[in-house]
Amino acid sequence: MRPGATAGSPSTRGRIDKRQAILEAAFVIFAREGYAQASVDAIAAEAGVAKPTIYNHLGGKENLFLHAMTATAERTTARSLAVVSRLAVDAADLHTAFADVGEALLSCYCSEESWALRRLLHAEIVRFPGLFDAIGASGPNQVGEAFADRLARLALAGRLRLTDPVEAAEQFLALITGPVASRSALGTRPLGDAQLRRVAEAASTTFLRAFTAAPVGLPVSD
């Protein structure tokens, strides 16, 4: 921090806002052009700042890429964590509760920003081998842990029967994300709300049949 500047002062807030604008612009350019083709000049133009400003805030292109990726992961994770918090222990109908949360999580998962993040991660994982763990710590790991915590609370309340909440959380998240990843061709083919709802409903039915003592509230097939 510069001499005379204090946390929350206009100059400090200005630096934070400018850094955020640079990171958001960088992600847009990296997602559109790929790491190799993206240039700091293009990022500066997208952010509306001078090129030296980027170097002052974030250094070179490699550091900028890593920070842009983790900042995007943190932003998308915050939306997913807010969804997970809706899964209440006292939900009247568990199937509806899981389906609603699953559908909302899929909306987060299928946002263009989230798809772009995953495509970039897959494309650049060889160039940046540590990126997978960094993104995991900033994103999917937190969502899985939060969901496992919700499942553990439901188990303690006697509403679920499970021995490993973390493993159960992984299984539910796989049930909802697996189908849309393939059906949307990694986000290049849009899926409608009705399709997402059907995936969430099916995932909830399968999950609760495995982890509830009795299929109370579950749809009965013909």
What is the reported pLDDT for 216?
47
Confidence band of 213 (pLDDT split at 50, 70, 90): low
Q: Tell me how far apart the terminal alpha carbons of the chain are, to the nearest angstrom.
A: 66
- Cβ–Cβ < 8 Å for 26, 68: yes
How far is Cα 142 from Cα 148, in angstroms, rounded to an integer? Answer: 10
Instruction: Report pLDDT digits (tens) over 15-25.
Output: 778 999 999 99
What is the reported pLDDT for 167?
97
What is the reported pLDDT for 220?
46
What is the reported pLDDT for 8?
54
What is the reported pLDDT for 1?
43
Instruction: Report pLDDT digits (tens) over 59-105.
Output: 899 999 999 999 999 999 999 999 999 999 999 999 999 999 999 99
Confidence band of 138 (pLDDT split at 50, 70, 90): confident
What is the reported pLDDT for 3?
45
What pTM was estimated for this model as a whole? 0.86
Confidence band of 222 (pLDDT split at 50, 70, 90): very low
How far is Cα 3 from Cα 1, in angstroms, rounded to an integer? Answer: 7
- Cβ–Cβ < 8 Å for 144, 162: no
